[in-house]
Amino acid sequence: MSEMMKKYIEEAEKALLHTYNRYQIVLDRGEGVYLYDIDGKKYLDFVSGIAVFALGYNNKSYNDALKAQIDKLLHTSNYYYNVPAVEAAKKIKEASGMDRVFFTNSGAEAVEGALKAARKYAYLKDGRTDHEIIAMNHSFHGRTFGALSVTGNPHYREAFEPMIGNIRFANLNDFDSVLANVNDRTCAIIMETVQGEGGIHPVTEEFLKSVRKLCDEKDILLILDEIQCGMGRCGSMYAWQRYGVKPDIMTTAKALGCGVPVGAFLMTEKVGQNSLVAGDHGTTYGGNPFACAAVSKVLDLFKEDNIIENVNQVAPYLEQKLDELKDRYDFIVDRRGLGLMQGLVFDRPVAEVIGKALEKGLILINAGSDIIRFVPPLVISRENVDDMIRILDSCLESI
């Protein structure tokens, strides 16, 4: 490590609130599927900013669109219309099949809005304020109070109790556990279509269809969190589209802006006409021209560059190579995931492996202490998969 890098790390530790145990590198620039630190060392990136940089780094068309918007208008506020927001809304409606859009600054804010919409929908039906929401154990929806309240990991919540209240937890892919929590106050069921931080657990088709049927019968709203698993990562624009089960409300973020902080929650027309109205919800920055110019260009490039087609070509190869690693090492006990959202499950902590990989120029991330998560840019090739496997294999041999 150079003296310059040491200096930046020391200054960061003096100035930044220590809420992250950061890896000891200072990243400087990116190109395609590679990142470079300030010393010029090259890294193959299989994290993509935690499933954000779907298009890879330094995409010229994306950069040019943002530069052009900077020269026009960055912000106005939601008291006025702006063209990029209208264009972005039209394109995301087409991609998702949903009807109404609210742009936010982050995924957590999208979850907050989704929860408010669900409770307002129920309130307008019966005037009660004691409605309940069912969430899933091992889920992760964000760090703000509402999102944290439906995050199914007590460790994240316990220091910040009390949460928003009236939240019950069921188990993903266990329909009986959902039924056990349903009552006449249940207004919504929220889940990730593929659990990310909780261990890369995809929902089963049977479970999702059973929950959808239950929601239809009881006029309960189904909220699907697609913040990490959406935007093409699982082989369709949104993971729920693989199952043919449409939510009433969905959340999206991360790759929606491919680096620009932006999220959204979307809903059907029925929910849109019977939930939030003027004064119920708002945001200063959400939906501003700059963020929406990013969304609009990202959605264009997904089509122009055949991003989802590439996912469906490369993902089976990634699965095959990860399965071969699993078969080679007895301390790897499982491989699971959908598309380019994969996890290798170990019988021990994976921090050492991730650290060794970083030293050898491969960026990986965990999902829990015993799982290595693979969420690369969606533009990766089979050759990139081979390079990743070669480096990871050498790290595994050493332990």
Q: Which amino acid is at 172?
A: L
pLDDT of residue 219: 97
pLDDT in tens, 297-319: 999 999 999 999 999 999 999 99
- Say if residues 268 and 96 touch (Cβ distance below 8 Å): no
Domain chopping of the chain, boundaries: 3-55+306-397, 61-304
Ranges of residues in the chain with a pLDDT under 50 are: none
Rounded distance, CA 259 to CA 246, Å? 27
Q: Which residues contact 215 (CB under 8 A, 6 or more apart)?
A: 189, 221, 222, 248
Residues 150-198: pLDDT tens digits? 999 999 999 999 999 999 999 999 999 999 999 999 999 999 999 999 9
Q: How far apart are the first and last CA of the chain?
A: 24
**Residue 383 CB contacts under 8 Å (≥ 6 apart), including other chains:** none
Strand partners, 135: 169
Q: Sheet harboring 362-363: ordered strands across? A: 27-31, 34-37, 42-45, 362-363
For the chain, the C-alpha Rg in angstroms (whole number) is 21
Please answer whether residues 129 and 123 qualify as being in contact, where contact means their C-beta atoms are separated by less than 8 angstroms: yes
Residue with tokens 């089979």: 382
Give the tokens for residue 322. Answer: 């990860």
Per-position DSSP letters for 289-306, written without gaps between them: HHHHHHHHHHHHHHHHTT
Provide CATH code, domain 61-304: 3.40.640.10
For residue 398, the model assigns a pLDDT of 86
Question: What is residue 8's predicted lDDT score, i.e. its pLDDT?
Answer: 93
Beta bridge partners of 34: 31, 44
d(CA 127, CA 144): 26
CA–CA distances in Å: residue 33 to residues 65, 121, 337, 380? 20, 43, 21, 7
Q: How many CB atoms lie within 10 A of CB 12?
A: 12
What is the architecture of the domain spanning 3-55+306-397?
Alpha-Beta Complex (3.90)
Closest CA to 265 of 205, 223, 208: 223
